Amino acid sequence: MAVITTKSVTKVYNSDKVPVHALRGVDLNIEKGEFTAIVGPSGSGKTTLLNIIGGLDTPTEGKTIVQGTDLSTLSDSELINFRLHHIGFVFQAYNLIPVLTAVENVSFVMQMQGRPNKECHNKSISLLKEVGLEDKINKRPSELSGGQQQRVAVARALASKPDFVLADEPTANLDSVSSGELLDMMAELNQKEEMTFIFSTHDQRVIDRAHRVVTLVDGKIDNDEVRAQTV
């Protein structure tokens, strides 16, 4: 069974006078363990699609099914709780709570899940080690570089033991070296932990590392290509 299924998802924004068709019927299946890039030019609907998959936004028409749950059946608070337990998020920037240290940011979601403090702390430290930040655990976001912040965000996304991680242009604000490192790290976690990643990007070097590339054009899937794994 697919981890994520979208069925004829459309999204129309009516906020301005002219309706904007951000998605025009997207059918997508993501299997467990995939490392998928959603690519496409700016405005093609990548963020909208990830938001709908992540239960942050609702489709105008169509369905999103995550691990067998139709997201449209959940109330607002149920959705929040669903995200807490099933989905990891990495955003473009400013992912972290500024007043919490790296380790507290990672612990945060686990504490929300109600896990014991000791477990949260230990797990957070080991996750920060995995993303290569064992010497930064007590730093606040403002004391970390952009790349380091994104790695803490990835560690936080994994901390809740989600079914998959959504990352919307995680490298958009990073230089090419940091982008490469972040992608390497995500690919490694994908291999080692069998964590499913779906990330959007329009950076060619990032696209090259994906195992599956879904191309959106004008809110429609234009191309869906599975590549030989080149790690």
Ligand X SMILES: Nc1ncnc2c1ncn2[C@@H]1O[C@H](COP(=O)(O)OP(=O)(O)O)[C@@H](O)[C@H]1O
Residues that bind other proteins (CB under 8 A): 51, 54, 56-57, 76-77, 80-81, 83-85, 89, 91, 94-100, 108-109, 111-113, 156, 160
d(Cα 129, Cα 218) in Å, to the nearest integer?
40
- Within 14-58, strands assigned E span 20-30, 35-39
| Closest CB 199 distance from ligand X, rounded Å | 12
170 binds ligand X (CB under 6 A): no
**Residue, CB closest to Mg ion:** 47
Task: Choose, by CB under 6 A, the member of 46, 83, 209, 211 that binds ligand X.
Answer: 46
Q: From the list Mg ion, ligand X, other proteins, none, which binds 147 (C-beta under 5 to 8 Å, kind-based)?
A: none
DSSP string of 101-123, one letter each residue:
-HHHHHHHHHHHTT--HHHHHHH
- Closest to 9 measured CA to CA, from 74, 54, 76: 54
Q: How many residues bind Mg ion (CB under 5 A)?
A: 1
Judge contact between 213 and 227, C-beta under 8 A: yes
Q: From the list ligand X, other proteins, Mg ion, none, which binds 42 (C-beta under 5 to 8 Å, kind-based)?
A: ligand X
Q: From the list Mg ion, ligand X, other proteins, none, which binds 205 (C-beta under 5 to 8 Å, kind-based)?
A: none
Given the complex with other proteins, which of 125 and 210 has the nearer CB atom? 125
Which residues pair with residue 9 across a beta bridge? 26
Q: From the list Mg ion, ligand X, other proteins, none, which binds 114 (C-beta under 5 to 8 Å, kind-based)?
A: none
d(Cα 96, Cα 142) in Å, to the nearest integer?
10
Q: From the list ligand X, Mg ion, other proteins, none, which binds 231 (C-beta under 5 to 8 Å, kind-based)?
A: none
Return the residues of window 19-48 that contact Mg ion according to CB under 5 A. 47
Return the residues of window 47-66 that contact ligand X according to CB under 6 A. 47-48
| Closest CB 220 distance from ligand X, rounded Å | 12
Q: How many other CB atoms sit within 10 Å of the CB of residue 52?
A: 25
Distances, alpha carbon 124 to alpha carbons 37, 52, 135, 163, in Å: 27, 28, 13, 18
- Closest to 224 measured CA to CA, from 32, 34, 36, 10: 36
> Which residues make up the interface to ligand X (CB under 6 A)?
13, 15, 20, 22, 40, 42-48
Q: List residues binding Mg ion (CB under 5 A).
A: 47
